[in-house]
Amino acid sequence: MKGTLALIERDMRKFRRSPTLILTSMFFPLVQLVVLGYAFGGKLTNLHVGVVDQDHQIETVKLREMCGAIAANARTFDTITYADETRAMTDLREGRISAVLEIPPNFSRHVLAKEDPKVALIEDNTDNFAVATLEGAFSQLLGTFNQHAAPARVPPQATLSVVEVYPYVPYIQYLLSGTVVLAIFISAMIGGGIIFIDDKARGLHEGYLVTPISKLELILGFTLSGAIKACLSGIVLVTLGSIIAGIPNPLDPIRLAKLLIVIVVSSLALISMMFFLMVRVSDPLVPRATMGVLNTLLYFPSGAVYPVNGFPNWMRVISKGDPFTYAVHAFKELLLKNAGIGAIAFDMSFLIVFAIIMMTLATLLFKRTL
């Protein structure tokens, strides 16, 4: 074990003297968390909707007042009145407004006569997010518009009452788990890929191979030093990320202890995988070239940024074998739900078995000679 400890000590000294490396592996993921979390997480507001009113009767006034109430309160959209449809459509096509609400002649008469009254929402469907938001807002608005002034004491239709188990989860909190795993992976890629191959290319490994250190001690030394660095990244990300994302009670010691288990197991799994992938590589360009592809292949199918249920089948297959999936799931259970060990037991089991398989394969492939 002395050889293993010597290699770990060497790596830790190098790591301490490389502030750029520390910044890259720990703080870049934090920047990504903040930027992506706020870029994708917010509700759309202040969309511009043109209104072409060809009715001007009492029911239309009621409908427009309701639009005005949304503009004043939820601010999902505000309205701009157009005298004619042609000009409204020109503005829609030129991007000045996101949709046109067209109220046809005799709309109020049809409402009062209950003769299939209709309004049209003409949308700029190049922006799916705006479309979805406006459709949701107008469906809700028309639902309210259709209700009777005095609702029945016993509703004639089935209704849905939604009960939320956990407090509202903003997107930045949803993204935090994936960001922590990404930070661990970046450290694993640097430690298990780039530094490992660079040392090999510089001839440092040749120096180690002529010493009596065993193959297992060498592998353990490289793996554990990489895992320690990955753990440090994970701990910094979990702590600072939780505070930045607004996770309730972020320094709860019991949860932190459980998180530490997930960090250690995830680090070992990812660094073992990197060693398995890089154990026979000698060209320093290879880990750099594969970094982006691996990142995409592991991070996005894991459910870190979007639920796995939204993926096509082939992507779900990748997700099943992706160690990120289990690490992200375990972090979500702890960070968003403060769940118990039972909730992460399967994830941990998968990652431990995965690490053992990867480490065994890497050891088998590792050459004790040149």
Partner 1 sequence: MPAIQATEIRKMFGTFCAVDSLTFTVDECEIFGLLGPNGAGKSTLIRILTTLLPPTSGTALVNGYNVVTAANKVRRTIGVIPQAMTSDQDLTAEENMEVFAKLYGVPRERRRRVIRELLEATDLSQWADKPVKNFSGGMRRRLEIARGLVHEPKIFFLDEPTTGLDPVSRVSVWEMLMQLKQGRDLTILVTTHYMDEADRLCNRIAIVDHGKLVALDSPLKLKASIPGNNILEVSFSSVPDGWLEQLKQLPEAQDVKADGNVFRISSNNGPKTTSEILEAARQAQVDIMSLSVQSTTLDDVFVHYTGRQLRDALQDAPKLDTRYMYQRDKVAR
Three-state secondary-structure class, residue 77: strand
Minimum distance of partner 1 from residue 99's CB (angstroms): 59
What's the token pair of residue 60?
Answer: 């239309």
Minimum distance of partner 1 from residue 284's CB (angstroms): 7
Q: Give me the residue label for tokens 């065993």.
A: 214
Nearer to partner 1, 40 or 366 (CB): 366
Q: Which residues contact 132 (CB under 8 A, 6 or more apart)?
A: none
Nearer to partner 1, 250 or 284 (CB): 284
**C-alpha 361: how far from its chain's center?**
31
Q: Give me the residue label for tokens 């353990």.
A: 220
- Compute the C-alpha angle 228/234/240, nearest 5°: 135
Minimum distance of partner 1 from residue 9's CB (angstroms): 7
In the DSSP assignment, the letter for residue 159 is -
Q: What is 321-362 written as a DSSP string?
A: H-HHHHHHHHHHHHHHH---HHHHHHHHHHHHHHHHHHHHHH
Q: How far apart are CA 59 and CA 112, in angstroms?
A: 8
Minimum distance of partner 1 from residue 235's CB (angstroms): 24
Nearer to partner 1, 5 or 80 (CB): 5
Nearer to partner 1, 25 or 60 (CB): 25
Nearer to partner 1, 203 or 342 (CB): 203
**C-alpha 292: how far from its chain's center?**
17
Nearer to partner 1, 229 or 329 (CB): 229
Q: How far apart are CA 183 and CA 209, in angstroms?
A: 31
Nearer to partner 1, 210 or 257 (CB): 210
Nearer to partner 1, 136 or 207 (CB): 207
Q: How far apart are CA 102 and CA 106, in angstroms?
A: 12
Q: Detail the DSSP E strand segments found in the chain.
A: 47-53, 77-82, 99-103, 120-123
Contact status, residue 325 vs residue 298, Cβ threshold 8 Å: no
Minimum distance of partner 1 from residue 75's CB (angstroms): 55
Span between the terminal Cα atoms of the chain, in Å: 23
Helix 171-188 / helix 323-337 crossing angle, nearest 10 deg: 140
Minimum distance of partner 1 from residue 124's CB (angstroms): 55
Minimum distance of partner 1 from residue 271's CB (angstroms): 20
Minimum distance of partner 1 from residue 202's CB (angstroms): 7
Residues that bind partner 1 (CB under 8 A): 2-3, 5-7, 9-10, 13-14, 17-18, 200-204, 206-213, 282-284, 369-370
Nearer to partner 1, 21 or 182 (CB): 21
| Per-position b or e across 46-83, b if 16+ CB within 10 A of its CB | ebbbbbbbebebebbeebbeebeebbeeeebbbbeebe
Minimum distance of partner 1 from residue 288's CB (angstroms): 14
Minimum distance of partner 1 from residue 163's CB (angstroms): 57
Nearer to partner 1, 135 or 206 (CB): 206
Contact status, residue 99 vs residue 127, Cβ threshold 8 Å: no
Q: What single letter denotes the amino acid at residue 135? A: E
Q: How far apart are CA 189 and CA 197, in angstroms?
A: 11
